[in-house]
Amino acid sequence: MILQKKNTVLSDVTLKKRLRKSDLVGWGFISIAVMMIFIFYFYPMLQALILSFQSGMGTNLGFIGIDNYIRLVQDTTFITAVSNTFIYLIIQVPIMILLALLLSVLLNNKHLKGRGFFRTAIFLPCVTSLVAYATLFKYLFGHNGIINVLLMNLSLISAPIEWLTDPVLARVTIIMAITWRWTGYNMIFYLSSLQNIDHSIYEAAKIDGATGIHQFFKITIPLLKPIILFTSITSTIGTLQLFDEVVNITGGGPGNATLTISQYIYNLSFRYTPDFGYAATVSYAIVVMIIILSVIQFKVAGDKS
Amino acid sequence: MKQLKNISMYIFLTTASFISIFPFFWMVVSATNTSLAVTGGRLLPGTNLMENLRSLLEMTELLTAFANSAQIAIVTTLSALFIASLAGYGFEVFQSKTKDFVFNILLASMMIPFAALMIPLFRMFANLSNQVPFLGINTHVAVILPTVTTAFLIFFFRQSTKMFPKDILEAGRMDGLSELGIFIKIYLPTMKTTYAAAAIITFMSSWNSYLWPLVVIQSPEKQTLPLLISNLGSSYAPDFGVIMLAIVLATLPVALIFFILQKQFVAGMIGSVK
């Protein structure tokens, strides 16, 4: 584009020279990044694929064909980890997105008193590191944790609730923790796109007699669809990779009730007798799931329009 | 009816804010109390802060972990900004079909879960350990290298460069500046806010990262704050006041950045979608 202006002055030959030179300079600018991404993302991906056809202890690996993949579909721990991850995904992501949408619509009201305070308060959990808030939640919901103490002081319960050692409640605790940490984060995305919506649309809807709930589902949600798609894809990828929270709140227990796929990969590689080959096979299962779920989400969002 | 709606809205927002803030309140208050008071459900500030700090310094390598985390986060942030802004600028200013193709391939790396990279990366650095020890397992270089370049940050810089007035670049060329000179002397100073937002997100994700340091760091003197907190949290006889203090100290730097640079902080988080 820059060069077009000078087309009249420069002869074809020098123009081509300059173009080629500027192209080369451009490659210079991007070269470090391209190299780094290939070395630290694509090359390891390829290595993991090769590993997934190997087995053995530690560095002593040999090719075994598709045995790892056969083992994968018969592995009950893997199936538990997958179903746990999907429980988090199916319950937590919709709750969080709806909650974030509702909050952002309420906070987008310019006449709301204390708007800045509410916004900052709800966003605040985003400043915590995953390990820090996970450890915090472990003690909030512990046997002697403040939640149990408060509930008992209020005489709502007579004995402490075993949030972390009951299989169902442990999952509930994990879901509550993740929702606490990420709702404000998603809300900020919705708020910033809500600010771009022309207010006269709502005025027109009001004149036509649309109620608040009607406006929310017929105007707000359709207009926010691209950003809802973006946040649901990032949340899905995040949930499929869930690790820090579960490791630090429940350690995957009780039993394997809260174990996630990432944690299972970690355990296979670094806690049990290291089996890098099989762990790589499990990790490819996540890759496939991320691709499938992202495609589905794109399709679902695309069909409605 | 309208009033009822208003009241329920305020109740809802107040409840949401309370739930968001209460864990922070409890963590700060508990950091000043004895372990016994924490489990007793005390919700008022106590006088045990200094005692907790003394125990924390005695029990753990807190200062070392703090220094390690800071060092890793700062080096990661500086190199990440350098690499990603060069690339984002390059992709946008020297646009071509081939480069756009490469750009899309880089974007695909955002879909790769870290769990899938972890084992090959571990083996890569384990192999390096034998040949070049300062690059191998249990070094900060190994913590930093794989996380320095992210497609997200390159994308972020490319998006921001779209707003950059291209005429200024041509003016720089007329003045006889080299392409790198234009980047350093013209582009860099004008894009300060973009750099600030990018610095905040990168610093934060490095400061908070857990899984890769957990895999690659093996000795206590190399460990980062999240590793230290995780270890404290899984000890058999935890001292709650001490643990809460450690969590407060680990959260403080990012919280400070948030309160001082709120605008850039939020811009960094949502910058990718604009």
- What is the mean predicted confidence (pLDDT) over A210-214? 79
pLDDT at res. A19: 66
Q: In whole angstroms, give the CA distance from residue A5 to residue A1.
A: 7
CB contact under 8 A, B111 and A59: no
Residues B38 and A136: beta-carbon distance below 8 Å? no
Residues B169, B172, B177, B181: is their CA dihedral positive or negative? negative
Confidence of residue A6 (pLDDT cuts 50, 70, 90): very low
Distance from CA of A57 to the nearest CA of B (A): 13
The CATH number that applies at residue A138 is 1.10.3720.10
Q: Which residue has the higher pLDDT, B84 or B270?
A: B84
Domain assignment present for residue A18? The answer is yes
- Interface residue B31 vs chain A (CB under 8 A): no
Measured CA to CA in angstroms, residue A239 lies from A88, A164, B115 at distances of 7, 20, 12
Task: Give the up-direction half-sphere exposure of residue B31: CA atoms within 13 A in the CB hemisphere.
Answer: 19
8 Å CB contact of A283 and B121:
no
Same domain membership, residue A82 and residue A44 = no
First-residue to last-residue Cα distance in chain A: 35
Mean pLDDT for A144-168 is 87
CB within 8 Å: A286 and B250 = no
Is A237 an 8 Å CB contact of chain B?
yes
3-class secondary structure, A275: coil
Same domain (yes/no): A24, A102: no
Domains of chain A: total: 2
Domains and CATH numbers, chain B: 63-224 (1.10.3720.10)
Q: In whole angstroms, what is the distance from residue B195 CA to residue B153 CA?
A: 10
ipTM: 0.87
**Among the partner residues B38, B112, B207, nearest to A287 by beta-carbon distance:** B112
Helices (H), B132-239: 140-148, 151-161, 166-174, 179-182, 188-190, 192-208, 211-216, 225-233
| Per-residue pLDDT tens over the stretch A86-117 | 999 999 999 999 999 999 989 988 888 888 89
- Inter-residue contact A277 to A68 (CB < 8 Å): yes
Is the CB of A287 less than 8 angstroms away from the CB of B154? no
- Residues of A whose CB is below 8 A from B266: 123, 188, 192
Report the distance separating Cα A269 and Cα A291, nearest Å. Answer: 24
In a domain, A68, yes or no: no
Which residue has 């450690």 as its token pair? Answer: B246
Domain range spanning residue A46?
4-51
A27 shares its domain with A172: no
CB contact under 8 A, B115 and A36: no
Residues A283 and A246 in one domain: yes
CA distance B64 to A234: 34
Burial of A76 (C-beta count, 10 Å sphere; 0-12/13-18/19+) = exposed
Q: Give A14 to chain B, closest Cα distance, Å.
A: 16
pLDDT grade for B268, boundaries at 50, 70 and 90: low
* Strands A54-55 vs A62-63: parallel, antiparallel or unpaired: antiparallel
pLDDT for the residue A12: 64
Asked if A229 and A108 sit in the same domain, the reply is yes
Q: Do A1 and B123 touch (CB under 8 A)?
A: no
Same domain, A113 and A205: yes
Q: Token pair of A86, please?
A: 């999907």
- Chain B segment 168-207 residues within 8 A of A by beta carbon are 169-170, 173, 179, 183, 207
**A46 shares a domain with A99:** no
List all residues of chain A from 190 to 209 with a beta carbon under 8 Å from chain B: 192-193
User: Do A167 and A232 belong together in one domain?
Assistant: yes
In a domain, A62, yes or no: no
Q: How confident is the model at residue B169 (pLDDT cuts 50, 70, 90)?
A: confident
Q: In whole angstroms, how far apart are CA A14 and each of A6, A10, A258?
A: 11, 6, 66
Decide if B117 and A45 are in contact by the 8 Å CB cutoff: yes
Q: What is the pLDDT of residue A14?
A: 67
Provide, as residue numbers in chain B, all residues whose Cβ is less than 8 Å from the Cβ of A34.
Answer: 87, 102, 106
Mean pLDDT score of chain B: 88
Token pair in block for residue A73: 């579909």
User: What pLDDT is recorded for position A294?
Assistant: 81
Instruction: Compute the distance between CA of residue B18 and CA of residue B159 in angstroms, rounded to an integer.
Output: 37
Stretch 103-132 of chain B: residues touching chain A, C-beta under 8 Å = 106, 109, 111-124, 126
Q: Is A219 inside any structural domain?
A: yes
State the nearest Cα–Cα gap between A103 and chain B, in angstroms: 8
CB atoms within 10 A of CB A229: 16
Statement to judge: residues A143 and A197 lie in one domain: yes
Kindly list the residues from chain B whose CB atom is less than 8 angstroms away from the CB atom of residue A271: none
- Residue B72: list chain A partners with CB under 8 A: none
Residue A304 has pLDDT above 50, yes or no: no
- Tell me whether residue A163 is in a domain: yes
Reduced to 3 states, what is the DSSP secondary structure of residue A66? Answer: coil
Determine whether the interchain pair B112/A128 forms a contact, defined as Cβ–Cβ distance below 8 Å. Answer: no
Q: Greater confidence, A220 or B223?
A: B223
To the nearest 10 degrees (0 to 180), the angle between helices B225-233 and B62-93 is: 130
Domain check: are A39 and A84 in the same one?
no
Asked if residue A89 and residue A33 are part of one domain, the reply reads no
On whether any CB of chain A is under 8 Å from the CB of B253, the answer is no
CA dist., res. A299 & res. A295, Å (int): 6
At position A203, the amino acid (one-letter code) is E
Q: A71 lies in a domain? A: no
Which residues does chain A have within 8 Å of residue B267's beta carbon, measured at their own beta carbons? Answer: none
Tell me if B21 sits within 8 A of A136, measured CB to CB: no
B101 inside 8 A of chain A by CB? no
* Percent with pLDDT over 70 in chain B: 97
Cα of A198 to nearest chain B Cα, Å: 17
Residue with structure tokens 């929702």? A179
pTM of the prediction?
Answer: 0.86
Tell which wins on pLDDT, B82 or B38: B82
Q: Which of residues 55-94 of B touch A (CB under 8 A)?
A: 83-84, 86-87, 89-91, 93-94
- Asked if residue A59 belongs to a domain, the reply is no
Tell whether A45 and A80 lie within a shared domain.
no
Q: Which residues of A touch B270 (CB under 8 A)?
A: 188-189, 192
Residue of chain A whose Cα is closest to the Cα of B200: A127
**What does the pLDDT look like over A258-301, one tens digit per residue?**
999 999 999 998 887 788 889 999 999 888 888 888 888 778 77
Q: Is residue A89 part of a domain?
A: yes
Distance CA B20, CA A180 (A): 7
What value, to the nearest 5°, has the Cα angle with vertex A155 and ends A154 and A161? 100
Check if A259 contacts B (Cβ < 8 Å).
Answer: no
User: How close B82 comes to chain A (CA, Å)?
Assistant: 10
Among A33, A153, A276, beta carbon nearest to B41: A153
Q: What pLDDT digit, counting tens, does each position of A227-238 carry?
A: 888 888 888 888
On chain A, the residues whose CB falls within 8 A of the CB of B114 are 241, 262
CA A257 to chain centre: 21
What is the rounded average pLDDT of the residues A59-72?
81
